[in-house]
Amino acid sequence: MNHRAFGRSSRTVARTTARTRAGLGAAALIAVVVPAGAPAPAQAAPASVTALAQWSTETLAPGVELRTGTVRHPDVTHTWTVTVQSPATSRLTGAATWAEVSTRNWADTTARKLREAGYDPRVESVRRPDYADTPHGVMGFRVRIGAYAAQADAQATAKAVTSAGFHTAVAWTGYDVQEPADRENIHVAVIDPRRFKGTVEGTHDGNVAQRETTSSVAAGLRSLIAVNGGFFVTSNADGVQGTISGLGAYGGRLGSMAAGSRAALILGDGGRHVHVADLTTTVTARAGTSSYAIQGINRVPALVRDCGRPGATPSEHPWQDVTCRLTDDLVRFTPEFGADLPTGAGVQAVLDPSGRVVSVGARGGRVPAGGSVLQGVGAAATWLTDQAGPGRRVLVREDVRDTSGRRVELDGDDSVVSAAPTLVRNGRIDIDAAREGVVDPQDLSFGYAWANTRQPRTMAGIDSRGRLILATVDGRRTDGSEGFTLYEEARFMRSLGAVQALNLDGGGSTTMAVRGILANHPSDATGERPVGDTVQVLQTPAG
């Protein structure tokens, strides 16, 4: 680490307060304050709204710039309200659930019943976001009651409405896309590979079976900038906590497999060449003339978080925050799996560094240094028993490809962090929310709040000059900030000049650290949430 580079860091505080007619919207205003050439937004705020913005800029190293900003709409007033929810059935699982948005007939009937019960409801039309692969126009209708300055007053009304036989939720109108947010606290890091002499790497800090805070990893690596990375397992019921639920590659080696075809940030040559692409993974084990498809790396056999694997039920396609199952499943464990191996029904084969089988038996134990372990359940267990006897060699072939079928070669200084969905493609907003499994156009109970209301978000993109953009927006009113919808973050990244961009893990995971110190205000109840992998901007390579 070059210590002198920290001492030379220059700070230029460029406080800019800008007023603009609200036809620009928040993201376009940001483009005025941080020049980038934004397109006109598809969803504009009311013409009477005024936006204010303040930005400071700090140069952390040659080619690494940090911009910290706050965008406010002082003319907008938000309140607490009570939303009456509609009974629904999950299209994926068939389970009973609730939806905030439903049909006009349901909304009118519910409003009539509420008036008969002595309440004064309002029916609101909700339009679909401008996604590339979903219908446009009116999504549905919701029913709300009241406008309260205090959350406690809304909660009291919700309790009374629930007692009258309705299902309710308390909502903050600042999370709705129909009006601008009160406040958005934003951090943007811009890394120019032509000037920056360090590296940018995705990392799981050497152990894919653990969770660590972004700032603690950053402090240990003495990074300049760090943000949280991809989606990961957060519950023991869904697998081993910390393991990535999509594609992750560190030091050129796969640490996990893709959940179908989803967006990925490819950090090639230590961040010298950066791309965003939808990637898939195919991994095959071969013993002699017999082969078997590996469906997972470093995860619990039979459990597939976010689905997206062949043969998975209830879906082979990606589904955000859903755990699918595989009856027949072969999983590879690498030396980076630094925890006890999963136990249970099935068989495992322990391999030495050359791929030769050391032993075959019950599942459990640890991955040997330099070796690997294959665990199989169902038909995969039978294949291991028949083909992977002691002394035999099992060769594993990994294949990563983009949607055009081109193979992505990973070397020792390459890493991949993935999430969903794609936000910007070929310089245009192009959100494939349905295909990447974060919304379901046929099921309004799935993904509505995740995608279509304001949330904390972490974003990554590349501009036309090849510069990497890492950005976070706080949400859920932490420090007053309300966050972005998926469309708003896509528009924001485009306003910064991104020609490619994707959504990384957000919500309580959204974190940015500067020189190892937490810079934003995470929304997780515990403070800074321990996450799976992270993206680190390093003065020197992590190794």
Same domain, 396 and 465: no
In terms of domains, do 183 and 155 share one?
A: no
Q: Is 236 domain-assigned?
A: no
SS3 letters across 252-284: CEEEECCCCCEEEEEEEHHHCEEEEEEEEEEEE
* Residues 475 and 491 both lie in one domain: yes
Same-domain check for residues 64 and 185: yes
3-state SS track over 61-101: ECCEEEEEEEEECCCCCCCEEEEECEEEECCCCCCEEEECC
Residues 383 and 425 in one domain: no
Kindly state whether residues 86 and 71 are assigned to the same domain: no
Q: Is the pTM of this model over 0.85?
A: yes
Contacts 24+ apart (CB under 8 A), 405-408: 408/266, 408/277, 408/279
Residue 366, in any domain of the structure: yes
Give pLDDT tens digits for 38-62.
333 334 444 456 789 999 999 999 9
- State which residues form the domain around 487: 3-76+179-197+419-538
315 CB-near residues (< 8 Å, 6+ apart): 92, 307, 308, 322, 324
In a domain, 543, yes or no: no
Establish if 246 belongs to a structural domain: no
d(CA 274, CA 388): 39
Q: Does residue 447 share a domain with residue 398?
A: no
Whether the bond between 41 and the residue before it is cis, its omega within 30 degrees of 0, is no
Q: Is 336 exposed, middle or buried (0-12, 13-18, 19+ CB in 10 A)?
A: buried
Cα atoms in the Cβ-side hemisphere of radius 13 Å centred on 106: 18
Yes or no: say if 479 and 508 are a contact pair by the CB < 8 Å rule. Answer: no
Residue where one domain finishes, among candidates 175, 208, 224: 175
CA 466 to chain CA centroid, nearest Å? 22
Question: Would residue 221 count as lying in a domain?
Answer: no
Instruction: Please count the structural domains in the chain.
Output: 3
pLDDT at 541: 64
In a domain? residue 249: no
Model pLDDT for residues 364-406, shown as the tens digit of each residue? 999 999 999 999 999 999 999 999 999 999 999 999 999 999 9
Domain boundary among 402, 431, 457: 402
Same domain membership, residue 433 and residue 377: no
The domain boundary residue, chosen from 175, 205, 234: 175
Is 413 part of any domain? no
Look at residue 331 and tell me if it is in a domain: yes
- Assess whether 361 and 442 both reside in one domain: no
Residues 295 and 373 in one domain: yes
Say whether both 313 and 426 belong to one domain: no
- Outline where 465-511 has alpha helix (H): 486-495
- Parts of the chain with a pLDDT under 50: 1-47
Nearest to 214 by CA among 449, 498, 470: 470
Task: Report the 3 state secondary structure along 7-39.
Answer: HHCEEECCCCCCCEECCCHHHHHHHHHCCCCCC
Report CA 455 to chain centroid distance, whole Å: 11
Asked if 299 and 382 sit in the same domain, the reply is yes
